């Protein structure tokens, strides 16, 4: 069920009977010469809506702009500071609690949102408002990603490219995949300068990659995207069912020993 499609009259039964909501979050930021700036929030919304359709749980509107200052040098990237993002998401989530939701899954598709979302979840749990957890699609299927791609890349690589090819292929500039690979950073894990004596010495994406992306984009296909989507969507469905089955008291902080 998508919240934005319903009237308030038709939502009363849901809030009376159910207690779980899915909140998709992404970003509006550069994803190289081949992918749209909407990549992350398109992916997040696709997963959240798919899980909502399969389970009947509520999906809220998508948060389209996230914590992305590390991509600021690339035209069109939009971002909010982490503190602003945390405050906004906490307020939004408290709104859901007001209506009766006591457990939330942040369906996230942007790495810059992870730490702020975890902080918001802890704050809401410590205040015993509700239980909120962050879910990242690629972290739910790491073995499959390693099996499918030799160089997946953490940003704008073949895993994200494949998903957008599957979800909305018209948005992908397939004729630029070779340029994306050759102008980016292919081997993230082994590149000199990415880590120095165990420290990450960079702050912005442009410090490592001229065109903003990593991995081998030429390895992407819509068929691989469908495989990734189905596997991760199933993981999200199972997470929804697990979370819904937990007693509310078990989700709150334990008493002091």
| DSSP conformation letters of 196-233 | ETTEE---SGGGT-TTS-BS-GGG--HHHHHHHHHHHH
Q: Say whether pLDDT at 193 is over 60.
A: no
Could you give the domains of the chain? 3-250 (3.40.50.10310)
The alpha-helical segments, DSSP class H, found in 32-111 are 39-55, 82-98
Tell me the pTM: 0.95
Q: What is the mean pLDDT of residues 13-27?
A: 95
Share of the chain above pLDDT 90, in %: 91
**What is d(CA 48, CA 63) in angstroms, rounded to the nearest whole number?**
12
CA distances from 8 to 4, 139, 165 (A): 10, 35, 35
Residue-wise pLDDT for 201-231, tens only, equals: 888 999 889 999 999 999 999 999 999 999 9
pLDDT of residue 199: 84
Q: How far apart are CA 139 and CA 123, in angstroms?
A: 23
Q: What is the pLDDT of residues 24-74, one digit of tens each?
A: 999 999 999 999 999 999 999 999 999 999 999 999 999 999 999 999 999
* pLDDT average, residue stretch 88-109: 97
Mean pLDDT along residues 171-191: 89
Least trusted range by pLDDT, from 90-99, 121-130, 170-179, 185-194: 185-194
Confidence class for position 190, pLDDT limits 50, 70, 90 = low
**What's the token pair of residue 71?**
């991509």
What is the percentage of the chain residues whose pLDDT exceeds 70? Answer: 97
The H helix count followed by the E strand count for the chain is: 9, 6
Backbone CA torsion sign across 247, 253, 256, 257: positive
- What are the b/e assignments for 223-233, b being 16+ CB within 10 Å? ebbebbbebbb
Cβ–Cβ under 8 Å, residues 39 and 166: no
Pairing label, strands 195-196, 199-200: antiparallel
Mean pLDDT score across all residues of the chain: 95
| pLDDT of residue 191 exceeding 80 | no
Task: Measure the CA–CA gap between 16 and 129, rounded to whole angstroms.
Answer: 17
SS3 17: helix
């Amino acid at each position: 069920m998508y919240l934005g499609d319903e009237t308030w009259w038709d939502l009363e039964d849901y809030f009376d009977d159910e207690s779980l909501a899915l909140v998709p979050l992404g970003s509006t930021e550069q994803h190289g010469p081949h992918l749209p700036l909407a990549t992350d929030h398109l992916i997040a919304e696709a997963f959240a809506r798919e899980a909502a359709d399969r389970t009947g749980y509520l999906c809220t509107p998508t948060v389209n702009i996230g914590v992305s200052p590390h991509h600021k040098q690339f035209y069109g990237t939009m971002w909010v500071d982490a503190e602003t993002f945390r405050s906004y998401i906490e307020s939004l989530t408290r709104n859901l609690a007001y209506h009766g939701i006591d457990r939330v899954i942040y369906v996230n598709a942007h790495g810059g949102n992870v730490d702020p979302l975890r902080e918001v979840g802890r704050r809401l749990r410590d205040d015993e408002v509700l239980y909120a957890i962050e879910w990242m699609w690629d972290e739910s299927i790491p073995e499959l990603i390693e099996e499918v791609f030799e160089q997946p890349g953490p940003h704008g690589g073949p895993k994200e490219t494949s998903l957008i090819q599957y979800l909305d292929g018209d948005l992908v500039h397939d004729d630029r995949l070779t340029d994306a690979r050759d102008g980016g950073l292919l081997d993230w894990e082994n590149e000199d300068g990415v880590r120095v004596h165990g420290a990450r010495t960079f702050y912005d994406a442009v410090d490592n990659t001229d065109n903003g992306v990593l991995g081998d984009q030429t390895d992407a296909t819509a068929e691989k995207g469908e495989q990734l989507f189905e596997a991760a969507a199933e993981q999200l469905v199972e997470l929804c069912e697990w979370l819904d089955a937990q007693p509310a008291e078990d989700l709150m902080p334990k008493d002091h020993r």
